[in-house]
Amino acid sequence: MRSISMAMLLVAACGGGGSSGPPAPTCQQSVGHYYSVGCFTKDANGTPYSEDQVRMACLDALAELPAQCRDELDDLRFCFNEATAGRCDCSPEQEALLTCE
């Protein structure tokens, strides 16, 4: 799955959502916020991904992820949306998404 491999390369920022709370922010909203506060994602070599690349990976994941992994993607979008300058670590949410089957 292309979206999962792109998600594996995302290295970033913060904390929690899930299906019992409010709806997750959109890819546009969450990624836009994440980058607007100075956070970014990068590949394994440390090269930053553009905001557009991350937004497209998020949209691809929405279309391609199995239904049982939607909560993990929602949690990552919540994390991106809750990031603040200096608080950009979403690695627990990313790891949960990457290990979801």
pLDDT digits (tens, 9 = 90+) for 64-88: 999 999 999 999 999 999 999 999 9
* Residue 2, pLDDT score: 41
Phi, psi angles (nearest 5°) of residue 18: 105, 175
Structure tokens at 64: 């391609």
Distance CA 4, CA 63 (A): 11
List, for residues 15-73, the tens digit of each pLDDT value: 334 456 789 999 999 999 999 999 999 888 999 999 999 999 999 999 999 999 999 99
Q: In this predicted structure, what is the pLDDT of residue 21?
A: 75
CA–CA distance, 61 with 51 (Å, rounded to integer)? 15
Q: Is the pLDDT of residue 92 over 90?
A: yes
- pLDDT band at 9; cut points 50, 70, 90: very low
Domain of 83, in residue numbers: 2-16+23-99
- Which two three-digit tokens encode residue 65? 């992820």
Number of domains in the chain: 1
Closest residue by Cα to residue 2 from 58, 40, 45: 58
Secondary structure (3-state) at 85 = coil
